[in-house]
Amino acid sequence: RHAVLRYTMESLTAKGWTLFSPPLLANFAAFMGTGFFPGSDQNNIYAVGGQTVESGPIEGDGLHLIGTSEVTVCSFHKDETLKEDDLPKRYAGYSACFRREAGSYGKDTKGLYRVHQFEKVEQVVLCRADQDEALKMFEEIRTNAEDILKALELPYRIIDVCTGDMGKGKVFMQDIETWMPSRSAYGETHSCSYLGDFQARRLGIKYETAEGQKKFVHTLNNTCIASPRILIPILEIYQNKDGSITIPEVLREYMGGQKTIGK
């Protein structure tokens, strides 16, 4: 688990991305600004508070646990005017993530696929208000995620997400699904989104052009890796007949040179 996360972070920093370890707690304004509040996503966010009696009422602190580092990485620049020359901002946000997964039922709730706490390396981009530039950034962040899967030698496919399945404020979205033998199907492991200036307007993030004009930035985000979900295809595809697991070659240096797990 740690090996695949470390490999991903080192891969991104080698490409010039800024590693960001954001707060795990965010206030209501941060969730509003990134578009997670209000709406159905609100049901999947843990609120933080104090409880003096078991099963008694919880007194809220006005803070929530993040379900993705996108919330606090984007909010880092709230009400800020950036310089055009400083764009694009490329952040690799590494954090623990927490989700209630309220209303989730069926086989997807079993095992490692859908859990309440996980770790994720999220790519977050702030760029100029230029759709062509933003779509080039979209290709870049998706390709970064693909590069990780290729290095791990895991079969995957890319899905264009239809408008009805996209979250609030999203202009374009693709999912990456990785082959999971136990399901005899591909399972979603990555998501890539372009949100135009939706989040920037809510958070007040602008940049000043060389001519002195102020514009809202455009934002994008991508799951570069999420663990433990990515362990499903790794463990299943690399499992041997004797039950041992062959460690993918690119991860061995992060595991002391170990080549197998188990027997």
Could you give the residue ranges of the DSSP H alpha helices within 35-77? 70-75
Return the half-sphere exposure (C-beta side, CA atoms, 13 A cut-off) of residue 204.
6
Return the half-sphere exposure (C-beta side, CA atoms, 13 A cut-off) of residue 66.
28
185-194 β-sheet, strand order: 18-20, 89-98, 117-127, 218-227, 185-194, 172-180, 156-160
Quick one: tokens of 15? 């490409």
The SS3 assignment for 18 reads strand
- CA dist 224 to 4, 149, 159, Å? 11, 9, 16
Report residue 250: phi and psi, to 5°. Answer: -70, -15
Quick one: tokens of 35? 């578009």
CB 143 within 8 A of CB 195: no
CB 216 within 8 A of CB 206: yes
CB 53 within 8 A of CB 100: no
Which residues participate in catalysis according to the annotation? Answer: 99, 114, 188, 191, 229
Separation CA 162–CA 101 (nearest Å):
22
Quick one: tokens of 239? 């499992």
- CA dist 31 to 46, 202, 241, Å? 12, 10, 47
Separation CA 116–CA 229 (nearest Å):
12
